[in-house]
Amino acid sequence: MKVDRFSQSTTPGIFAVGDVTNRVNLTPIAIREGHAFADTVFGGRPTAVDHTGVPTAVFSEPEVGTVGMTEEEAVASLGRVDIYKTTFRPMKATLSGSGSKSLMKLVVDGRTGRVVGCHIVGPDAGELIQVIAIALQMRASKSDFDAVMAVHPTAAEELVTMPRPTLQYGLEPAVA
């Protein structure tokens, strides 16, 4: 069903939330849309749900977590993009002899330094991505991430200790 940002359909007094709107078909989105509807219609506080930057996880082995723009989306939308990527083998995997590793990627607007995406594959990726979604919602920059003290030894510390981009898009060629 087609609705506006306040879940109002084209018919006055008819609202729709959740999967029927086909915006983002996830239970937490439907719950948030329901709260926004109640605030708008019954609370007198017009509230729209921001459907960008929705964190998602796939609880597979290894686990996958993602929020924000992909590398490709950022390049198409922003042009100048810095990619920070790392792999990490947690100490518990080293001590146990497990081959378990994590892959982490930050997608950064190369002009503003704002982190616009994060993608994690590895243990607890869903837990990590939920916290990173807060930082993205707050429009955190890569320098904000860098200023956070790392918790050692954790996989999460990798998100605040990546010193330089592993890949850059949209750089101007150097003038000779």
138 CB-contact burial (10 Å; exposed 0-12 / middle 13-18 / buried 19+): exposed
> What would be the CATH architecture of the domain defined by 56-169?
2-Layer Sandwich (3.30)
The pairing of beta strand 167-169 with beta strand 115-121: unpaired
35 noted as active-site residue? no
Look at residue 159 and tell me whether its pLDDT is greater than 70: yes
Average pLDDT of every residue of the chain: 92
* 175 confidence band (pLDDT: 50, 70, 90): low
Tell me the pLDDT tens digit for each residue of 55-111: 999 999 999 999 999 999 999 999 999 999 999 887 776 777 777 889 999 999 999
- Residue 168 tokens, joined: 């850059």
Q: Which residues contact 86 (CB under 8 A, 6 or more apart)?
A: 103, 104, 158, 162, 166
Identified catalytic residue from 35, 51, 119, 152: 152
Confidence category of residue 153, pLDDT binned at 50, 70, 90: confident
Sheet holding 56-58, edge to edge: 56-58, 64-68, 115-121, 102-109, 81-88, 167-169
Residue 3 reports pLDDT greater than 60: yes
Per-residue pLDDT at 80: 96
Region(s) of the chain under CATH 3.30.390.30: 56-169
**Is the model more confident about 89 or about 146?**
146
pLDDT in tens, 108-127: 999 999 999 999 999 999 99
